[in-house]
A and B are shown apart, each in its own frame.
Chain A
Amino acid sequence: MIHSLFLINSSSDIFLEKHWKSVISRSVCDYFFEVQEKAGEAENVPPVIHAGHHYLINIYREKIFFVSVIQSEVPPLFVIEFLHHVAETFQDYFGECSESAIKDNVVIVYELLEEMLDNGFPLATESNILKELIKPPNILRSVVNSITGSCNVGETLPTGQLSTIPWRRAGVKYTNNEAYFDVVEEIDAILDKTGSVVFAEIQGVIDACVNLTGMPDLTLSFMNPRLLDDVSFHPCVRFKRWESERVLSFIPPDGNFRLLSYHVSAQNLVAIPIYVKQNISFFETGSSGRLDITVGPKQTMGKTVEAVFVTINMPKVVLSANLTATQGNYTYNPVTKTLVWDIGKLSQQKLPNLKGSLTLQCGAPKPEESPSLNIDLKIQQLAISGLKVNRLDMYGEKYKPFKGVKYVSKAGKFQCMAITIWLYIFTNKENSHLKC
């Protein structure tokens, strides 16, 4: 399946290669470089590239291209999913998935890649199994190892590999038994210029951090499970129980994991927690423009909206911005043409406002499109969909664990379009006479 893997940094250096079958020359990457050059920006590189007798399937993460070489038919998603898994494993092991981290730990990286694939087919990908086979680096252990001569590689097959619950290792022990669940919701929305909702939906995840001794069997139930429209589970969740009783029953992996991700459909009215009044206009003459933005809270159920950021990607002709903010600070980066307004907390009484003028490049035609606003925000202790965890029960172990649930709502892809009205030709049939 996966024949070879090349890691390539942003300056087109191949800094790591690994082959699982016979060796493939790194010249195969020339096809990739060619496409990369054509695509311009890294994000625009197509994930699947046909390269002579090979196929290159690549992902781009943390400024690194993971380029895998494929020789024959394979579901492309299989490879993509696996590459992301590799990146996440590096993240998990080294704290970050960067070029320097990989270079510093090249031996561990190699050992990991060796375990993760056998003949190009995934062998051990569960993080806890890998961690038993190859221990993550830490300073204390490296000191101990250098003295005692013991090593980082496990000598026996991890128990998880053989069991039907490969995600949990046996013999876990904690003095403090804790289980924390974070319900994190992201609002994706597109608002039009008048502030009305074009599109809104909520994507949620429940991330868990479970440090429990032994082999606990947990059951998590919700007050309002019908709210969840579409769900996907960690493999530990018993699907049958969910289907019949709408509870999450599972033996948790040890440590951090994503238990559930869900979707709250657009049918349920999504409450948008803020409103935005905006006016960005460019004048025909004098190469300048005006900007006036007001942000205010709305439907937050008594919680405060925090960490509000407004980001605007300005048209290329905007040279500088001279604005005043009634709250927070703004910065304009003339190179990337991004205006960032850090508002902070929103209060009901005083609505933050950003107002002023924009200077445009002399002589350039005025931009035809007003830029759209991207908004970032955070609300603690509130799941915007109204989802509530009812209770968490534990079976199979005798101790009483400490349990906690935290709710956070965030803005996901939250866009305010600034549609300047473009001659309403498409909707207006009567007006079809032409001026020519």
Chain B
Amino acid sequence: MALWMEAGSEPKTESEVVDLEAISALKQSTAIELKENGNEYVKKGKKHYSDAIDCYTRAISQKALSDAEQSILYCNRAHVNLLLGNYRRALQDAEEAIKLSPTNVKAFYRAVKASMSLSLLAEAKSYCEKGLELSPENEELNKLAGQIDLLKSEQDRRKAEVSKSVTAVKDMISAFEERKIKIGKALYQELTGVKKPTLDKNNILHWPVLLLYAEVMSSDFIEDFCETDMFSTHLDEMFSESSPPLPWDNEHAYTRDALELYYEADSGVRLSKREIFHCLADGTAAANLEKCDIEENDAAEESSSSTTVLGGGGMRWIKVNERRPLYDVLKEPNLVVPGIPVFYVVSKKSSFYEEFKSGNWAPFGKYTSSSSRG
């Protein structure tokens, strides 16, 4: 009596039922054996972890065990995946284990460990709490709960720091815009190091300012030049009667009354807002941000209107009236701040003066630094 059985049809004969039961029992014992093999491999150490995974995987695919036991299989595989550093797979296995057996405390434990390694602190906390609901006295879970809280507050603290840095940089950029200050690439960083302006608590800008003595290519550095200060105030201080003369000034040409200050007109290309952001963020908590949401202006550039134009040569030097405050000079349309403001100092009494004013002289080579004043 040979009958064709269609797939999915009920077994009709007793012998068929017996056969199926036998197959099922076989699968079960295979699965159990595989599980035990897997456990053995784990005990044998690192080199055998992948074998262990293999065993567990085959055991799982038998689909022969109860949910509770299947859960244990997933849980065990999660454990080995954790040991191997396959955190995402470990999490998936742990989640499956939990699905199959919601009272499997160990599965929750594995889920917590996997989440923590993936920095998914919210998920870790959630799994930990659920695990502790099942087993409040569980030492391991309690320990992890404490660790998660620490990690979370550390994460929050770091986020706050980054956010604070970003805000500070954005405020600075805003301050530049309000004052119509154009920023270009920093020159002369080998002289000054990386220096940045600061905003004080009254929202007033303080700039580090570089003074270059064109004649000998030496420099002076003013650490804190408040934007409301006049140039004359700082020059008075630097060239007061009690301060020492410039070491290289053998002719004594660089006396207070003989000094003139100049800046170079249109000395560089303006940086975009994004570039300025990155320069300012450098060295702060915001340094490694991949994207900063800075909107670029689509403002048209103002055409430059110069005040004093000199000579036919390539360089255009604009004289600075020293009785003006810094902010007033920095907003000139033809002034681009090279990172920090740079002004060139010459003496009316020096023979170099004519050459400088003719526009044929250009800064070349390296400047040496002399002192940091103010």
Do A and B share a complex?
Answer: no
Interface residues of A (CB under 8 A from B): none
Q: Which residues of B contact A (CB under 8 A)?
A: none
